Structure formats: C-alpha cells, structure tokens
Amino acid sequence: MIEQMKAWDYELFRWINGTHNSFFDFLMPWISNKFIWIPLYAVLLYAMVRYSPFKLWQIILGGVILILFSDQMASGILKPWVARLRPCHDPVLSGDIHLLKGCGGKYGFASSHASNAFAVASFCFFMLRLHFKKMYILFFWAAIVSYSRIYLGVHFLGDVLAGAGIGWLAGQIAYELVKWLQRKTSK
C-alpha cells in the first residue's frame, strides 16, 4: 500500500511538473513567493479588525500562534522526522525535473508553503465567514500556492496535502484560541 502511494505520488509529480509552459514558468515563482502576498495579508488583517468581534491584540496573537504552529509542525518537526527527500534532491527523479528556481532544503514533507497558506486561509475563513459569504475563495488561493510548489519541482503532492491538513488544523486551533481569549478577557 505504501509503495503504491509512493508510486502514485511520483507519477503525479512527473505529470504536474512536466506540463510546463512559458506563462506558468513566469507566474509560478511569483505565486510561490511569500512576500508577494503581503498586500493580501494586510487586507485580511484589516477585515478581521474591522468586521470580527475580536480585539487587535487577540487577532495578532492568534496569527502568531497560527504561523508558529503551522510552520514549526511542517518544517521544525515533520521534515527532519520523516526525512523524505524533495523531488529536486531525489536521485530517482534526477534529470526528470523542470526546476525553475532553487531547490530548498533537503527534505520536503510536509510543505511549509502549503501549511502556512492553508493556515491563513482557514483562520481568516473562521474569523470572517459570517461577514463575507465567499471566504472559501481563500482555500482556492492556498491550493494555487500549493500547486506552485509541485510545478516548481520542490514538493510532491503528498507533501502539499500534508501541509494543507496541518494548515487547516492550525487555523482551527488559532481561531478557537482567539475565541477563548475573547471569553476570558470580556468577563
């Protein structure tokens, strides 16, 4: 079963990474760049301050805990523990990879980009879903960021799916923590 999943992951990687074109070759490094999304993060922070019932310090503390949990679970704990090579470091795939920029660290499970993008998406979804009916669009954004990691040759689909799960959980935990803080400080 494990070998079957690994073979499936390799084949999906080869298909996604191998279907490149000049438009996506230009676009995907930008999508994968975490700094390009700072304006989106600023808009989301403004919307949470403006429309959620939480105080600024509660939202910021929730965001800090969110990213710490999400990023540390993916990078600090899982990558060294699982020790799954990134596709760009995997000798089985050498010569088969369309690598557009640097490879990154040696290990790729779980994807920090996917984890952090889905963490932000789920936290903002829970915080703003009562005011904005289309907050699910953030999950589409997180999926595009995750897809870019496979396209760029630095993660397998399994890496980004694990990262997405970690991120969703981190968003839920941070939201529940912010709700708990609100109840504690409003007494």
pLDDT of residue 104: 86
Return the CATH fold of 2-185. Vanadium-containing Chloroperoxidase; domain 1 (1.20.144)
pLDDT-derived band at 66, boundaries 50, 70, 90: very high
Mean pLDDT of 33-51: 93
pLDDT-derived band at 132, boundaries 50, 70, 90: confident
Checking if the pLDDT of 87 tops 80, the result is: yes
> Average pLDDT, whole number, for the chain?
92
Contact (CB, 8 A) for 106 and 85: yes
Checking if the pLDDT of 1 tops 70, the result is: yes
Provide the residue type at 185 as one letter: T
| SS3 (DSSP) at 85 | strand
Number of Cα atoms under 13 Å in the Cβ half of residue 165: 8
Dihedral sign (CA 139, 103, 69, 2): positive
pLDDT of residue 2: 76
pLDDT of residue 11: 93
